[in-house]
Protein backbone atom coordinates (compact mmCIF):
# COMPACT_ATOMS: atom_id res chain seq x y z
CA UNK A 1 0.00 0.00 0.00
CA UNK A 2 1.45 3.38 -0.94
CA UNK A 3 1.71 6.18 1.61
CA UNK A 4 -1.22 8.22 0.22
CA UNK A 5 -3.55 5.22 0.49
CA UNK A 6 -2.25 4.56 3.99
CA UNK A 7 -2.93 8.22 4.89
CA UNK A 8 -6.54 7.79 3.77
CA UNK A 9 -6.84 4.67 5.93
CA UNK A 10 -5.40 6.52 8.94
CA UNK A 11 -7.77 9.46 8.42
CA UNK A 12 -10.62 6.96 8.39
CA UNK A 13 -9.38 5.60 11.71
CA UNK A 14 -9.37 9.05 13.27
CA UNK A 15 -6.02 10.72 12.62
CA UNK A 16 -6.66 14.44 12.07
CA UNK A 17 -3.38 16.35 11.76
CA UNK A 18 -0.33 16.40 9.51
CA UNK A 19 1.81 16.19 12.63
CA UNK A 20 0.18 12.88 13.68
CA UNK A 21 0.67 11.48 10.18
CA UNK A 22 4.33 12.58 10.04
CA UNK A 23 4.96 10.87 13.39
CA UNK A 24 3.22 7.69 12.22
CA UNK A 25 5.32 7.46 9.02
CA UNK A 26 8.46 8.86 10.67
CA UNK A 27 8.85 11.44 7.87
CA UNK A 28 9.08 15.23 7.78
CA UNK A 29 6.03 17.47 7.84
CA UNK A 30 6.97 18.70 4.35
CA UNK A 31 6.71 15.15 3.01
CA UNK A 32 3.25 14.74 4.53
CA UNK A 33 2.19 18.19 3.30
CA UNK A 34 3.11 17.19 -0.26
CA UNK A 35 1.04 14.00 0.04
CA UNK A 36 -1.89 15.94 1.56
CA UNK A 37 -1.73 18.54 -1.20
CA UNK A 38 -1.98 15.81 -3.84
CA UNK A 39 -4.87 14.14 -2.00
CA UNK A 40 -6.65 17.49 -1.73
CA UNK A 41 -6.16 18.17 -5.45
CA UNK A 42 -7.62 14.72 -6.16
CA UNK A 43 -10.66 15.71 -4.11
CA UNK A 44 -10.17 12.94 -1.56
CA UNK A 45 -9.53 15.06 1.55
CA UNK A 46 -10.37 18.46 3.02
CA UNK A 47 -7.68 20.50 4.76
CA UNK A 48 -8.78 23.03 7.33
CA UNK A 49 -6.80 25.15 9.76
CA UNK A 50 -4.76 22.59 11.65
CA UNK A 51 -6.73 19.51 10.60
CA UNK A 52 -7.31 17.08 7.76
CA UNK A 53 -10.34 14.90 7.09
CA UNK A 54 -11.66 12.59 4.43
CA UNK A 55 -13.85 14.38 1.93
CA UNK A 56 -16.67 11.91 2.46
CA UNK A 57 -16.81 12.84 6.16
CA UNK A 58 -18.68 15.91 4.98
CA UNK A 59 -21.53 13.52 4.27
CA UNK A 60 -21.88 12.95 8.03
CA UNK A 61 -23.47 16.39 8.31
CA UNK A 62 -26.58 14.98 6.60
CA UNK A 63 -26.43 11.67 8.47
CA UNK A 64 -28.10 11.37 11.83
CA UNK A 65 -27.12 9.54 14.97
CA UNK A 66 -28.12 5.88 14.80
CA UNK A 67 -29.71 6.22 18.24
CA UNK A 68 -31.36 9.63 18.52
CA UNK A 69 -31.21 10.99 14.97
CA UNK A 70 -29.32 14.20 15.85
CA UNK A 71 -26.82 15.59 13.37
CA UNK A 72 -23.32 14.22 13.88
CA UNK A 73 -20.59 16.53 15.12
CA UNK A 74 -17.22 14.85 14.48
CA UNK A 75 -15.75 16.37 17.66
CA UNK A 76 -18.22 14.41 19.84
CA UNK A 77 -19.09 11.42 17.65
CA UNK A 78 -18.60 7.79 18.48
CA UNK A 79 -17.76 5.60 15.49
CA UNK A 80 -18.26 1.86 15.53
CA UNK A 81 -16.52 -0.15 12.82
CA UNK A 82 -18.18 -3.51 12.41
CA UNK A 83 -16.97 -6.65 10.66
CA UNK A 84 -17.20 -6.15 6.92
CA UNK A 85 -16.27 -2.47 7.24
CA UNK A 86 -19.74 -1.14 8.05
CA UNK A 87 -19.57 2.07 10.11
CA UNK A 88 -22.16 3.18 12.63
CA UNK A 89 -22.04 6.71 14.03
CA UNK A 90 -23.57 8.26 17.11
CA UNK A 91 -23.74 11.97 17.88
CA UNK A 92 -22.03 11.78 21.27
CA UNK A 93 -20.63 9.45 23.95
CA UNK A 94 -24.08 9.26 25.62
CA UNK A 95 -25.58 7.64 22.51
CA UNK A 96 -22.37 5.71 21.81
CA UNK A 97 -22.52 4.03 25.21
CA UNK A 98 -26.21 3.25 24.85
CA UNK A 99 -25.71 1.76 21.36
CA UNK A 100 -22.98 -0.66 22.47
CA UNK A 101 -25.14 -3.55 23.77
CA UNK A 102 -27.11 -3.68 20.51
CA UNK A 103 -24.12 -3.31 18.21
CA UNK A 104 -22.05 -5.81 20.19
CA UNK A 105 -24.08 -8.57 18.55
CA UNK A 106 -22.91 -7.39 15.14
CA UNK A 107 -19.30 -8.12 16.05
CA UNK A 108 -17.64 -4.80 16.61
CA UNK A 109 -14.11 -4.55 15.27
CA UNK A 110 -13.22 -1.10 16.62
CA UNK A 111 -14.76 1.82 18.48
CA UNK A 112 -13.22 5.25 18.45
CA UNK A 113 -14.08 8.69 19.63
CA UNK A 114 -12.17 11.88 20.38
CA UNK A 115 -10.71 13.13 23.64
CA UNK A 116 -13.06 15.86 24.88
CA UNK A 117 -10.27 18.34 25.65
CA UNK A 118 -7.73 17.72 22.87
CA UNK A 119 -9.97 16.22 20.14
CA UNK A 120 -7.36 13.52 19.43
CA UNK A 121 -8.75 10.20 18.21
CA UNK A 122 -8.76 7.54 20.91
CA UNK A 123 -9.78 3.93 21.33
CA UNK A 124 -13.12 4.22 23.09
CA UNK A 125 -12.63 0.89 24.88
CA UNK A 126 -9.55 2.10 26.77
CA UNK A 127 -10.76 5.66 27.45
CA UNK A 128 -11.96 7.17 30.72
CA UNK A 129 -15.51 8.50 30.92
CA UNK A 130 -17.11 11.19 33.00
CA UNK A 131 -20.82 10.39 33.16
CA UNK A 132 -23.19 13.03 34.51
CA UNK A 133 -22.28 16.50 35.63
CA UNK A 134 -23.35 20.09 35.18
CA UNK A 135 -22.59 20.62 31.46
CA UNK A 136 -23.99 18.94 28.38
CA UNK A 137 -22.84 19.54 24.80
CA UNK A 138 -25.36 17.05 23.40
CA UNK A 139 -27.69 14.42 24.91
CA UNK A 140 -28.58 13.97 28.60
CA UNK A 141 -27.32 12.60 30.87
CA UNK A 142 -23.98 13.76 29.48
CA UNK A 143 -20.91 11.62 28.96
CA UNK A 144 -17.41 12.83 28.14
CA UNK A 145 -14.42 10.85 26.81
CA UNK A 146 -10.84 11.36 28.01
CA UNK A 147 -7.57 9.65 27.11
CA UNK A 148 -6.00 10.62 30.45
CA UNK A 149 -7.53 9.70 33.82
CA UNK A 150 -5.97 12.72 35.56
CA UNK A 151 -7.65 15.11 33.13
CA UNK A 152 -10.95 13.24 33.58
CA UNK A 153 -10.59 13.65 37.34
CA UNK A 154 -9.95 17.39 37.04
CA UNK A 155 -12.93 17.78 34.69
CA UNK A 156 -15.20 15.87 37.11
CA UNK A 157 -13.94 17.96 40.03
CA UNK A 158 -14.95 21.15 38.21
CA UNK A 159 -18.14 20.02 36.49
CA UNK A 160 -19.29 16.94 38.39
CA UNK A 161 -19.90 13.40 37.20
CA UNK A 162 -18.47 9.95 37.85
CA UNK A 163 -15.20 8.69 36.35
CA UNK A 164 -15.73 5.27 34.80
CA UNK A 165 -14.17 2.72 32.46
CA UNK A 166 -15.93 1.91 29.17
CA UNK A 167 -17.75 -1.10 30.62
CA UNK A 168 -18.77 0.80 33.75
CA UNK A 169 -19.95 3.77 31.67
CA UNK A 170 -22.12 1.52 29.46
CA UNK A 171 -23.76 0.02 32.54
CA UNK A 172 -24.17 3.38 34.29
CA UNK A 173 -25.75 4.99 31.22
CA UNK A 174 -28.21 2.10 30.90
CA UNK A 175 -29.12 2.44 34.59
CA UNK A 176 -29.63 6.20 34.28
CA UNK A 177 -31.86 5.80 31.24
CA UNK A 178 -33.95 3.09 32.96
CA UNK A 179 -34.65 5.61 35.72
CA UNK A 180 -36.40 7.83 33.15
CA UNK A 181 -33.58 10.35 32.88
CA UNK A 182 -34.63 12.95 30.30
CA UNK A 183 -32.76 12.90 26.98
CA UNK A 184 -32.26 16.26 25.29
CA UNK A 185 -32.97 16.12 21.56
CA UNK A 186 -32.93 19.88 20.91
CA UNK A 187 -30.01 21.34 18.90
Q: CATH number for the domain including 43? A: 1.10.10.10
39 against 170, higher pLDDT: 170
| Whether 80 and 140 share a structural domain | yes
| Whether 89 and 43 share a structural domain | no
How distant, in Å, are the alpha carbons of 8, 16, 109 from that of 125?
A: 23, 20, 11
- What pLDDT shows up at residue 98? 94
- What pLDDT shows up at residue 62? 53
| Whether 70 and 48 share a structural domain | no
What is the rounded average pLDDT of the residues 90-110? 89
| Whether 68 and 54 share a structural domain | no
Q: Which residue range(s) make up the domain with 79? A: 63-178
| Degrees, nearest 5: CA angle 165-167-169 | 65
pLDDT band at 63 (very low <50, low <70, confident <90, very high): low
| Whether 117 and 45 share a structural domain | no
pTM for this structure? Answer: 0.66
pLDDT band at 102 (very low <50, low <70, confident <90, very high): confident
| Whether 127 and 155 share a structural domain | yes
160 located within any domain:
yes
- What pLDDT shows up at residue 57? 46
pLDDT band at 71 (very low <50, low <70, confident <90, very high): confident
| Whether 67 and 21 share a structural domain | no
What is the rounded average pLDDT of the residues 16-37? 92
Check whether 68 has a pLDDT greater than 80.
Answer: yes
Amino acid sequence: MNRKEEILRLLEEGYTTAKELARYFNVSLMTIYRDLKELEEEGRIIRRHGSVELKREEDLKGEGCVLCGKEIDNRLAFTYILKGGKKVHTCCPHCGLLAFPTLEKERIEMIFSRDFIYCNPINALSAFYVVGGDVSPCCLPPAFVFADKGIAERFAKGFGGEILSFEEAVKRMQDLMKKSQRVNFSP
